[in-house]
Amino acid sequence: MTRTRLYRNGSLILEDFPTADISEYVNDPDVAVWLDLCDPCSADFAMISEEFGLHELAVEDARHEHQRPKLDRYRTHAFLSAYAISADETSGQLTTSELSVFITPTALITIRPDHRFDIEKVVERWDNNSDLAKYGVGFLLHGLLDHIVDGHFAAVQDLDDRIEAVEDLLFDEGRRQMDSVQRDSYALRKNLTKLRRVVLPMREVVNSLLRRDLHIVAEPLLPYFQDVYDHVLRATEWTESLRDMITSIMETNLTVQGNRMNLIMKKVTSWASIVAVPTAVTGFYGQNVPYPGVNTQAGFLTSTGVMVVASALLYWVFKRKDWI
């Protein structure tokens, strides 16, 4: 599936035109061409390699998934690899969507391995900021990166909210709450690891785009890319602080469990000490007081029933207090 757009002198003049017509426009310095390939085949990669003169190493990186976020500079173009990320509203599970981007002086080529990345939101962002379209490919690249970084920021904020919810359970009584804190903290740490792999390298990517010697971003667009870079820095710093928060939650949870166990042991030891005194006295003097039903079957059954009921009662009390 392909999408195409053609901007000339800041105006959108063509959309969804055949890819075979791209060669008629890419050599015109007054145009900006956008080509989007979703789940491309070998023929698609051969086409863009021929039409845009892309380096074989960059094409190879685009063909193979799971690249690290990066910006590679070649003689006639640049290759950018990035990830969009979203969080499930119910479970909080993070989902990443890989995106490969070729940047030439007159064209922006986006390659998506599947439909998880919502390109329509990027198109909507371009349409809402059409006054910047006169800056050509830089305008297209800014809208794309701005959308991706905003997604990173939203994912970091969602993770922060979930961490705060777990913190509220730290000092709640009950085994269920303790198990929930332990399970959720490990799930949050797993999500944070995935988030750090996506967010942290973007600082280097956007910073490289701001370099004037690369001539990728026009001078009037530098403030807009600087704003994106500021958002990347905030997301990066926030992500690093979340790692400290999760570590603190896990350590605090272990401390709370240890303190709770010590309190239980103190209570049980106190009761054992109370019971030990009469036990020691009667045991030392060998007291054997006759009881009703001694030396009879009814007495044996009665005493056995008393022991069973007393044991069951103690079990119920300890279970109710969450000691066992």
The per-residue pLDDT for range 175-187, each reduced to its tens digit, is: 667 778 888 888 8
Q: Residue 150: is it exposed, middle or buried by C-beta count within 10 angstroms (0-12/13-18/19+)?
A: middle
Q: In this predicted model, what pLDDT tens digit does every residue of 247-261 receive, in sequence order?
A: 888 888 888 878 888
pTM value?
Answer: 0.79
CA 247/CA 266 separation, integer angstroms: 29
Q: Are 187 and 92 in contact (CB under 8 A)?
A: yes
CA 200/CA 70 separation, integer angstroms: 11
Q: In this predicted model, what pLDDT tens digit does every residue of 210-243 receive, in sequence order?
A: 887 777 888 899 999 999 999 999 999 999 999 8
Q: At what angle do helices 222-285 and 175-209 cross, to 10 degrees?
A: 160
Q: Are 160 and 246 in contact (CB under 8 A)?
A: no
Q: Are 109 and 102 in contact (CB under 8 A)?
A: yes
pLDDT of 222 reads 92
pLDDT of 300 reads 76
Residues in the chain, pLDDT under 70: 173-176, 273, 277-287, 289, 291, 322-324
pLDDT of 171 reads 74
Q: Which residues does residue 70 pair with via DSSP β-bridges, in sequence order?
A: 81
